[in-house]
Structure 1
Amino acid sequence: MADDDLLEKVHSLSDLELAILLCLVNREHVLISTPPAAIDDLVQELQLIASKTFNLQSVVVNCHPSTTLEDFACALLLQPQQPPLFNATTVSRSASPFARADSYFALNSQPNQQHRSSTPLSLRTTTPFSASPQIAHFVIAKNLDRAPRVVQIQALELLRTRRIFTRTSVQAAPKQFVFVPVLGAASGGEAHVTAHLNDFFSVAHWHNPDDGYVNLDEAEGRSDGEDATASTESVVKKGMTPSTALISDIDISHLAKLSQEVQIDVDILRYQMNIISFLRMHRAVAGGISPAATKHLHQLVKSLAPLHKLDFVTPALVGLAVRKVYLHRIRITEPEKERSMQWGSQLEAVEALLEDVGPEEVIEEVLEMVTAPP
């Protein structure tokens, strides 16, 4: 069970920070969406989360319809800092009192004595050590859904193999590696990327701008008057004290170990499978309830338990995990393809039934239909 100090740090995190933490614990990746007008603030907040909360180096990949594979691969890399050049003429030492003026070791050698020249014998002393660039630990792919299909497939290959081919080399992803697409959408259920890449993301998170930007507000020193305009119903309010927690690699490894020790009762497992079946058979769902989603759901419920100081899974944790795992996966069917149309339903009636129905509504309806174990 996690110690109280670690739990106190975890409970002080914002929703965005918790989403990143769960991905680091499970070695998975998260898709984050927000209204298009707020996407720049969200990207800055994620950069601060990477550096302040998890001490990870981040890069931002700005995607657009003309992004090439080379642009994408180069944007993932952190350029190494070059060490200062070694200059032999700046090296000084105290002269020996026993050195003669005509000595080989004299510092004030005569210019006509070639063997006393202070010129470096090799160019190696003036050449800096060349370090190859590395893939960043925290990659923010802004507007990845706008990138060409080939670029999104390249992103899938990076996540699947944890390496990417550039023009001159093969770059491997670091041990702690999180890939975060940031998409602009009207709701979390409308944020998608290419189908196979979309299914590879373990969870999705919708960030409402009214929930605030904890680290960004702290960095910019926004006034209390601006903070007071935040929604009073938000989970993370702008007026709250910003999180100062720093989650180390040791903390992440400890939480990962605890999640592997979590037990799932057979009734909870049956409840979990019933939810999956009801989602798959829902008349508004065209697809998205994949085997990969089932694996991610099982993984997420086990990693949520230690954060609540539990070593077992509860129905409430299953409901929370379902909302995160299937938000970006569920695809709503078109009225013409709704299954009751095969038995003579009127198109107008089906259109009225599916109006304003999205993944969020489907998930909530299924959670109400499936009876949770006592």
Structure 2
Amino acid sequence: MADENLLQRVHDLSDLELAALLSLIAREHCVITTPGDALDDLVEELKLISTRTFGLSYAVVDCNPDTTLEDFATSLLLGKPQPQAQAQRTTPRSSSPHLTRTGIASNDYFPPQPATPSSSGGGGGGAPLSPLTPTGGSATHAHIAHVVLARNLGLAPKAVQIQALELLRTRRIFTRTSVHAAPKQFLFVAALADDGDDDDDGEQHQQRGRRPGGGRLAPHLNDFFYVGHWHDPEDGFANLEDDGEEAETASTGSVVKKGGGGGAGSVVAGGFPEEGRDPVFSELDIATLAKLSREVQVDVDVLRYQMNIVSFLRMHRAVAGGITPTATKHFEQLMKSLAPLHGLDYVTPSLVGLAARKVYLHRVDIVTPEKERSMLWGSELAAVQSILEGIGPDDVIEEVLAMVPAPL
């Protein structure tokens, strides 16, 4: 069981921070949806969460229909590529089948370290030069950011989304000159905008958890994401609001300084956390929670309850798809990950319901009236349209949870 200090820090987190923490615990990735006019604020909040809450570097990938594979790959990297000729000289091709084309082992998951001169004399005794050399002069290795924020990923071409799926599956990205491995702590967040649908009167209807109308993720990529979260702007952006309060205090000339650091200056250029600032959750904290989640027990009645929820979702008349074996695996994983955050070493029915809401929110695809299964039996199209009107994934999940009896 986690200690009280760690649990207290968990309870102080916002919903967005919890979504990121759960993904890091499971080493999976998440989808976060918000109205279009709040998307920029969401991305800024996620930047601050990356650096302040977890002490991780970040990169923002702005996707649109013209995004190319090269644009996507280079946006993930922190640094500036060196000329190709130097890259070929410093990373010669090896004849060994156990090395990549760049001669670098594929399990290089660690962040760059400043190059140090060789302690031994003679030619060839020093460490090889880095593929990246920043303006400052010290050489560092090219590497993928710990947190990748893909804004409007659903608008990217299919080829780019397939490349994103390969990155999530293999934890590697190929560029023209080398192969880059993702760091050990790696989180990919798809930040999507959804402004709902307009009806005949021009009124806009917004439903929590709808599949984004401004661009849809490819089915296999969408299914690979661990959890989905709808963020209502009315719930606020905690870190951005803290920055606003500090800026207001500074503008009044007050000498009072907020405890614990922070502020806009806590994030430096390039998406790196400020040196000397301790994150709320260290890598050891995340590893501790991950270990506890693997030790969580699931009673047979609770497991039966989980499987009944899966079965009812598959049979729901409004569901066109999204109840996949991958979703079921993530369902069980999230149930166990939630238990240590509540100070438990076993899964309760309430945690099962909470996990279902997060795992299936971005996966459930609502069927069109023409393809609803009762149409095969002679149902009227107008009647089916009336039944399905205004139904979103969150409505389906809540209805299933209400129908399936929980174990006592």
Shift of 1:269: 0.2
Contact 2:302–2:347 at 8 Å: present in 1 too?
yes
1:217 lines up with 2:238 in the alignment: no
The equivalent of 1:196 in structure 2 is 220
Aligned partners of 2:247, 2:389: CA distance in 1, in Å? 41
1:367 lines up with 2:388 in the alignment: no
Deviations 1:132-157 (A, max 9, x none): 32100000000100110100000000
The equivalent of 1:239 in structure 2 is none
1:290 lines up with 2:329 in the alignment: no
The equivalent of 1:155 in structure 2 is 164
Contact 2:172–2:182 at 8 Å: present in 1 too?
yes
TM-score (norm 2): 0.74
1:79 lines up with 2:79 in the alignment: yes
Aligned partners of 1:253, 1:83: CA distance in 2, in Å? 26
Q: Partner of 2:345: helix, strand, or coil?
A: coil
The aligned amino acid for 1:62 is D
Aligned partners of 1:261, 1:83: CA distance in 2, in Å? 38
1:348 lines up with 2:372 in the alignment: no
In the TM superposition, what are the counterparts of 1:143-292 in structure 2 within 5 Å? 143-186=152-195, 187-191=208-212, 192-221=216-245, 246-292=280-326
Deviations 1:331-363 (A, max 9, x none): 111111111111111111111111111101100
Contact 1:25–1:256 at 8 Å: present in 2 too?
yes
Contact 2:55–2:279 at 8 Å: present in 1 too?
no
Q: Which moved more, 1:139-148 or 1:184-193?
A: 184-193
Q: Partner of 1:286: helix, strand, or coil?
A: strand
The equivalent of 1:2 in structure 2 is 2
Structure number with greater Rg is 1
The equivalent of 2:144 in structure 1 is 135
The aligned amino acid for 2:146 is H
1:312 lines up with 2:333 in the alignment: no
The equivalent of 2:27 in structure 1 is 27
Shift of 1:131: 2.5
The aligned amino acid for 2:398 is E
Aligned partners of 2:58, 2:242: CA distance in 1, in Å? 19
Structure 1 runs of 4+ aligned residues shifted over 6 Å read 80-84
Shift of 1:199: 0.2
Shift of 1:128: 4.3
Task: Provide closer, same or farther for how the CA distance between residues 201 and 250 of structure 1 changes in structure 2, counting only shifts above 3 A.
Answer: same
Q: Partner of 2:74: helix, strand, or coil?
A: helix
The equivalent of 2:369 in structure 1 is 335
The aligned amino acid for 1:34 is T
The aligned amino acid for 1:25 is I
Contact 1:284–1:338 at 8 Å: present in 2 too?
yes
Shift of 1:188: 2.0
The equivalent of 2:60 in structure 1 is 60
Determine what percentage of the aligned residue pairs are the same residue: 63
Shift of 1:220: 2.3
Matched length: 314
Aligned partners of 2:184, 2:8: CA distance in 1, in Å? 26
Q: Partner of 1:78: helix, strand, or coil?
A: coil
Q: Partner of 2:210: helix, strand, or coil?
A: helix
Shift of 1:190: 2.0
Shift of 1:221: 1.9
Aligned partners of 1:34, 1:223: CA distance in 2, in Å? 26
Shift of 1:130: 3.4
The RMSD of aligned alpha carbons is: 2.0
Deviations 1:314-345 (A, max 9, x none): 01000000000000100111111111111111
Deviations 1:99-158 (A, max 9, x none): xxxxxxxxxxxxxxxxxxxxxxxxxxxx94533321000000001001101000000000
Q: Which runs of 5+ in 1 are unaligned?
A: 87-126, 225-243
Aligned partners of 2:238, 2:138: CA distance in 1, in Å? 40
Deviations 1:55-82 (A, max 9, x none): 0000100111100000000000011799
Contact 1:29–1:180 at 8 Å: present in 2 too?
yes
Aligned partners of 2:21, 2:335: CA distance in 1, in Å? 14
Aligned partners of 1:222, 1:147: CA distance in 2, in Å? 37
1:42 lines up with 2:37 in the alignment: no
Aligned partners of 2:291, 2:139: CA distance in 1, in Å? 38
Shift of 1:166: 0.4
Q: Which moved more, 1:191-200 or 1:62-71?
A: 191-200
Deviations 1:156-193 (A, max 9, x none): 00000000100110000000000001000134222341
Contact 1:268–1:313 at 8 Å: present in 2 too?
yes
Aligned partners of 1:254, 1:341: CA distance in 2, in Å? 51
The equivalent of 1:103 in structure 2 is none
Contact 2:310–2:323 at 8 Å: present in 1 too?
yes
Aligned partners of 2:44, 2:25: CA distance in 1, in Å? 23
Aligned partners of 1:222, 1:152: CA distance in 2, in Å? 39
Contact 1:42–1:213 at 8 Å: present in 2 too?
yes
Aligned partners of 2:178, 2:364: CA distance in 1, in Å? 38
The aligned amino acid for 1:172 is A
Aligned partners of 1:282, 1:344: CA distance in 2, in Å? 18
Contact 2:113–2:141 at 8 Å: present in 1 too?
no
